[in-house]
Structure 1
Amino acid sequence: MTRTNYVAAIDALEKLLEIAAIDLGGSPSDYDIADERVYLKSDPSIFITYANAAARAIELRG
């Protein structure tokens, strides 16, 4: 993986965490990523899927 790809991947992960925090509450640090979803660390039953987060990102950022 090139450095450019690595930076892009980290940016995408941070955006997923931000979207979860906006939609589900809390801060991005309250969330973790696994199994194609972003979930609340304290309660993994609270989550948003990658697909839903991507759709939400489009809504929020136009």
Structure 2
Amino acid sequence: MNAETLKSLMDVSAVTADGTEITLMGNISDAEGLKNVFENGGEGVGGNIIDFPGQL
């Protein structure tokens, strides 16, 4: 699918064939990531990825 097609689906509920609703969440690493999640139809944050320099 192209980006335009995906954008057109942002307001469509995520529901399985048996009617189970799915919450769409995104993983973020900074405030920009949080902004992107909500701008692109996400409903929350599933994980916050933090890198600590020198500890990887």
Aligning the two structures, in what range does the TM-score lie when normalised by the shorter sequence?
under 0.3
Query: Normalized per residue, which structure has more strand?
Result: 1
* TM-score normalised by the chain length of structure 2: 0.24
Q: Which has the higher contact order (CA 8 A, sep 6+)?
A: 2
Query: Normalized per residue, which structure has more helix?
Result: 1
